[in-house]
Chain A
Amino acid sequence: MKITFLRCRPVKAISKWLVVTIVVIVIVAATSVIAFLFWQQPPAVPKKVIVYASLSEMTSAEPSTEFSNSVMWLPLVYETLVWYDPFKDQFIPALAERWESNPESTEWTFYIRRNAKFHDGSPVNAEAVAFSINRTITLGGGAAYIWDPVERIEVVDEYTVKFHLKYPAPLLKVAASPYAAYIFCPNVVKYANATDPADPKVADWFNKGNDCGSGPYKLTKWDPEFEVVLEKWNDWWGWREPDYPWRSSLDKAPDIFILKIIKDAATQSRMLRAGEIHIAEYVPVEDVEGFEKDPNFVVVRKPSFQNLLMLINTKKPPLNDVRVRMAIAHAIPYEDIVRLARGGLARVASGPIPYGLWGHFDNLTYTYDLELAKRLLAEAGYPTGIPRTFTLVYTAGDVYEAKTSEIIKASLAKIGINVEIRPMSWEEQWALAQKGWEAPEEVQDLFIFYWWPDVLSPITYLYNMFHSESKAFNLCYYENSTFDEIIMQAYAVEGSDPHKALELYYRAQYMLYVDVPAVPLWDMLEIRVSVARVKNLESAVNPCYPTVVFAQMLIVE
């Protein structure tokens, strides 16, 4: 009696719960039924899968204009005419079997390989090469300027293509560039429903994750923020070519190569230890030693063509006095910086051309000599030091730049130069520095700066940072017409007379050594850490193609 009375209210409420319960049961039941109906044990096909962690998200999938992080996978899917091996100073044939130029290096002929095909089955021929490079030039985005010397491209016959140049240039190095030098099939216009190659629809087609390259891997998943999946293409000509050096072999190379975007070095390190990734692009410098001692991992160190310099504002007093700049150059403890700021993973720079690149010379390092520095300052009229505080800017968030800046500050204090360190976002830093061309007094004094190559030639360092026309990156505001002339002349003869070019490049670098518009600090050593079952990583990494691991050269056990 009592209980019935008390129950009469809850009954209505329970029906709501009943509804919820029934809904849940129905969902579960439906899912189980569907699962049962579609039940199929997936086939277990063993595949060699390698996951490579990238520190940056991919930018675009557009082979003509891409000038950023996607270079990490573009050279696996697309091929250039030639590749460049900087350590042997040797060009490796890619789509071009052989090549020649006239003595003035104004005409370059490439003979295209006859057995190469694009991923859609269409043949790689002279027409396709001319099509690709012409599209890149017409679009004019990214690094397209590297083709500036080209006047026109002539299709001589089915497999011969000839580049006519406006002025002499080492076109082979241009053709081997990691940017803007990829060949793709002319069918892309058709696939994209576009009217002509420069139609934005073609770029859209690429950026939807389609590819039409001729390389050993095909793009199968394009998720630029999270992961990019490449699958091995068995019909690549290189697998069948006997003794081709730019590969391991069809059965040893990874079947699936995944670029996983992990934007943090510490996370990469943890994921590597957890076995979730197999190659890390970047682990914290402090972790490198631990990986080296562990037999389960392999650490590969290679020179990278990225270097760090300190650009000096040559227009702002007292830095417009070369003796003050020279004093600074001699007051920097280069060895300490490499050891403390970079954990030893760098080389003391010798000139603005990094170690390992053709055009680098070993005798352009400033000595660390505080007495000499003080003497130079005294000669310049500052026996007790500089009365003004210098502003040094670096990119906030970069620990190496931060530590380097601290050491420079401490060391310059010893010769009476006070430095205020200002970390800024790269955008702010660059925007500030841009004002220096009009008002050098209002901007920074010292600028910590990285450079890496677009064209595989010393010219990229010398022109961009020191040529008076290069307003965007000559943030030393250095103007020297003799220097400008020498480097342009060197570049022009690089292809035809490398000895002469080398001599001119040396003269140019010596000029910089004497004028001190910038102090080269260190040339970076690149570190890749992989699990031990991935072999041959050493050869698969090439500083000309930064961040790329040429997966076709790996051996996976």
Chain B
Amino acid sequence: MPVTYEYVIKRLFLLVLVVLGVLVITFILTRVIPARPELLWAGPHAPLEAIKRAREELHLDKPIHVQLAYYLRDFFTGNWGVSWRTKQPVFQDILSALPATLELVIIGFAIAVIAGIPLGFYSALRLGSIKDDVVRSIAVIGASMPIFWVALILQLVFGIWLKVLPAGKRVDTALAIVTGFRSITGFYLLDSLIQGNMIVFIDALKRLVLPAITVSLYPLSLTIRMVRSLAVEVLNENFVRFLEVNGINRRTLIYRYVLRSVISPVIASLGLSFGYTLIGAFMVELVYVWPGIGYYAGMALLSYDYPAVLGSIVFVALFYSAINLVVDLVHAWIDPRVKL
């Protein structure tokens, strides 16, 4: 077992450093940008005394390093500040927005893996044919089209013109209320199943289709290209030829030997593309009015709500680093060739 506790601890330490770095840089950036958050806090047309009071409440009258110290102190005690717009605690806001984003990204990734691996193989086994060209074009187009544009086009065509799929939102709030749907885990598909609420389940599933397909485009293209090139490489390896001349069934050959050699690097790179996909999901959320972290952060940015922006960025950094760590560990676990 190449994974040691020592290694994990080292990585965890690095993770803390990275997150701290992101935190400090973002904090300074948000304070350097000339904005007057106390005005937001005090509300529009607020009298001067209210604005002065707000400055004091937000510690804005102190120098920046003192403000940072305040923030760090609160940050490590789990108090990520309150949103300047809504005065709700940021940490709880982010936690409650997280399942929406995760649901979207997980389904998007699932589509990418389930469709990407067979398509990659399909392409690799028909190297140079027109079918191969078609699949490769899909991969190139999927990776190069701006994700917000794809989101808009899919929404316009299927949600607004053809009206075959809902054009946004996670669930029809009215349907949820009428059927007594309650959010338990925050993952609506799971929640509706637990409650046996098929109406909401189907609604939530339908609403996932367009945004999840959009989110899946980038990892899908990545998977197709990786699987294709790796499969082509492996198919030319000596051991494969050896098996072939030994008369092994082609199906067994591909599933048992080629797939196994291909899958591990694909998982690793998919894991690393998680961050990029998450950013893509942010834009998709804004188009589809999807109440996840991206939507939350986007709206916070539009109104200079820095605790919310800061909280979202730090959270994503934390999440991203953690995912990377997990991917590396899983990778090592699956593939004994990987040395950590």
Which of chain A's residues have a CB closer than 8 A to the CB of B333? 16
- Does the CB pair B289–A2 fall under 8 Å? no
- Does the CB pair A274–B159 fall under 8 Å? yes
Which of chain B's residues have a CB closer than 8 A to the CB of A473? 45
- Does the CB pair B169–A276 fall under 8 Å? yes
**Is residue B118 within 8 Å, beta carbon to beta carbon, of the partner chain?**
no
Q: Report the minimum CB–CB distance from B211 to chain A (whole Å).
A: 13
- Does the CB pair B193–A225 fall under 8 Å? no
Interface window among B61-69, B101-109, B173-181: B173-181
Cβ-neighbour of A428 out of B35, B46, B200 (below 8 A):
B35
Which of chain A's residues have a CB closer than 8 A to the CB of B25? none
Known: A38-B194, A428-B35. A267 touches B177 (CB 8 A): no
- Does the CB pair B36–A431 fall under 8 Å? yes
Chain B proximity mask over A421-447: 1 for CB below 8 Å, otherwise 0: 000011110110000000000000000
Q: Report the minimum CB–CB distance from A14 to chain B (whole Å).
A: 9
**Is residue B251 within 8 Å, beta carbon to beta carbon, of the partner chain?**
no
Which of chain A's residues have a CB closer than 8 A to the CB of B146? none
**Is residue B137 within 8 Å, beta carbon to beta carbon, of the partner chain?**
no
Interface window among B3-11, B82-90, B222-230, B271-279: B82-90
Closest to B239 in A: A6
A47 vs B50: C-alpha distance when bound (angstroms): 43
- Does the CB pair A263–B299 fall under 8 Å? yes
- Does the CB pair B159–A10 fall under 8 Å? no
- Does the CB pair B93–A225 fall under 8 Å? yes
- Does the CB pair A270–B34 fall under 8 Å? no
**Is residue B195 within 8 Å, beta carbon to beta carbon, of the partner chain?**
yes
- Does the CB pair A60–B197 fall under 8 Å? no
Chain A proximity mask over B227-261: 1 for CB below 8 Å, otherwise 0: 00000000000000001001010000000110010
Which of chain B's residues have a CB closer than 8 A to the CB of A389? none
Closest to B200 in A: A42
Interface members, chain A 258-314 (any B CB < 8 Å): 258, 260-264, 267, 270-271, 273-276
**Is residue B287 within 8 Å, beta carbon to beta carbon, of the partner chain?**
yes
Chain A, interface size: which category? Answer: 35 or more
- Does the CB pair B179–A430 fall under 8 Å? no
**Is residue A494 within 8 Å, beta carbon to beta carbon, of the partner chain?**
no
Which of chain B's residues have a CB closer than 8 A to the CB of A6? 243
A258 vs B172: C-alpha distance when bound (angstroms): 11
- Does the CB pair A42–B199 fall under 8 Å? yes
**Is residue A481 within 8 Å, beta carbon to beta carbon, of the partner chain?**
no
- Does the CB pair A229–B177 fall under 8 Å? yes
Which of chain A's residues have a CB closer than 8 A to the CB of B243? 6
Count chain B residues whose beta carbon lies closer than 8 angstroms to a beta carbon of A: 65
**Is residue B302 within 8 Å, beta carbon to beta carbon, of the partner chain?**
yes
Interface members, chain A 215-272 (any B CB < 8 Å): 220, 223-227, 229, 231, 256, 258, 260-264, 267, 270-271
Cβ-neighbour of B299 out of A38, A207, A225 (below 8 A):
A225
- Does the CB pair A10–B178 fall under 8 Å? no
- Does the CB pair A68–B44 fall under 8 Å? yes
Which of chain B's residues have a CB closer than 8 A to the CB of A145? 47
**Is residue B168 within 8 Å, beta carbon to beta carbon, of the partner chain?**
yes
**Is residue B91 within 8 Å, beta carbon to beta carbon, of the partner chain?**
no
Which of chain A's residues have a CB closer than 8 A to the CB of B48? 471-472
Cβ-neighbour of A57 out of B44, B193, B199, B299 (below 8 A):
B299
- Does the CB pair A38–B93 fall under 8 Å? no
Closest to A3 in B: B248
**Is residue B17 within 8 Å, beta carbon to beta carbon, of the partner chain?**
no
A3 vs B168: C-alpha distance when bound (angstroms): 54
A227 vs B88: C-alpha distance when bound (angstroms): 14
| Residue of B168, B194, B287, B295 with highest tally of chain A CB at under 10 A | B168
A47 vs B173: C-alpha distance when bound (angstroms): 12
Closest to B292 in A: A226
- Does the CB pair A67–B43 fall under 8 Å? yes
| Residue of A34, A59, A226, A227 with highest tally of chain B CB at under 10 A | A226
- Does the CB pair B156–A270 fall under 8 Å? yes
A141 vs B47: C-alpha distance when bound (angstroms): 9
Known: A42-B197, A262-B289, A427-B39. A2 touches B160 (CB 8 A): no
Cβ-neighbour of B160 out of A260, A261, A270, A426 (below 8 A):
A270
Known: A2-B246, A276-B169, A472-B48. A427 touches B36 (CB 8 A): yes
Which of chain B's residues have a CB closer than 8 A to the CB of A122? none
Which of chain A's residues have a CB closer than 8 A to the CB of B43? 59, 67-68, 142
Which of chain A's residues have a CB closer than 8 A to the CB of B160? 270, 273-274
A41 vs B198: C-alpha distance when bound (angstroms): 7
A207 vs B177: C-alpha distance when bound (angstroms): 22
A207 vs B92: C-alpha distance when bound (angstroms): 14
**Is residue A377 within 8 Å, beta carbon to beta carbon, of the partner chain?**
no
**Is residue A489 within 8 Å, beta carbon to beta carbon, of the partner chain?**
no
| Residue of A16, A42, A231 with highest tally of chain B CB at under 10 A | A42
A47 vs B48: C-alpha distance when bound (angstroms): 46
- Does the CB pair B177–A256 fall under 8 Å? yes
Cβ-neighbour of B194 out of A34, A258, A263 (below 8 A):
A34
Which of chain B's residues have a CB closer than 8 A to the CB of A471? 48
Q: Report the minimum CB–CB distance from A232 to chain B (whole Å).
A: 12
**Is residue B155 within 8 Å, beta carbon to beta carbon, of the partner chain?**
yes
A220 vs B177: C-alpha distance when bound (angstroms): 10
**Is residue A127 within 8 Å, beta carbon to beta carbon, of the partner chain?**
no
Chain A proximity mask over B177-212: 1 for CB below 8 Å, otherwise 0: 111110000000010011111111000000000000
A320 vs B333: C-alpha distance when bound (angstroms): 78
Closest to B308 in A: A225
Which of chain B's residues have a CB closer than 8 A to the CB of A431? 34, 36
Chain A proximity mask over B33-64: 1 for CB below 8 Å, otherwise 0: 01111011001111110110000000000000
- Does the CB pair B34–A428 fall under 8 Å? yes
**Is residue A523 within 8 Å, beta carbon to beta carbon, of the partner chain?**
no
Known: A57-B85, A428-B36. A274 touches B166 (CB 8 A): yes
Which of chain A's residues have a CB closer than 8 A to the CB of B134? none
Which of chain B's residues have a CB closer than 8 A to the CB of A337? none
**Is residue A45 within 8 Å, beta carbon to beta carbon, of the partner chain?**
yes
Which of chain A's residues have a CB closer than 8 A to the CB of B45? 67, 454, 464, 472-473
**Is residue A387 within 8 Å, beta carbon to beta carbon, of the partner chain?**
no
Closest to B197 in A: A42
- Does the CB pair B196–A38 fall under 8 Å? yes
**Is residue B291 within 8 Å, beta carbon to beta carbon, of the partner chain?**
yes
A233 vs B181: C-alpha distance when bound (angstroms): 20
In the complex, the 9 A-B pairs of residues with the closest C-beta atoms, listed nearest first: A427-B36, A274-B167, A42-B179, A49-B174, A39-B196, A224-B86, A226-B291, A67-B43, A38-B196
Chosen A-B contacts, 9 in total, with CB atoms closer than 8 Å, are A31-B193, A40-B196, A47-B178, A227-B291, A260-B289, A274-B160, A274-B166, A274-B168, A427-B39
Q: A262-B289, A428-B35 are in contact. List 6 more A-B contacts (CB 8 A).
A: A36-B196, A51-B174, A67-B46, A227-B291, A258-B173, A263-B302
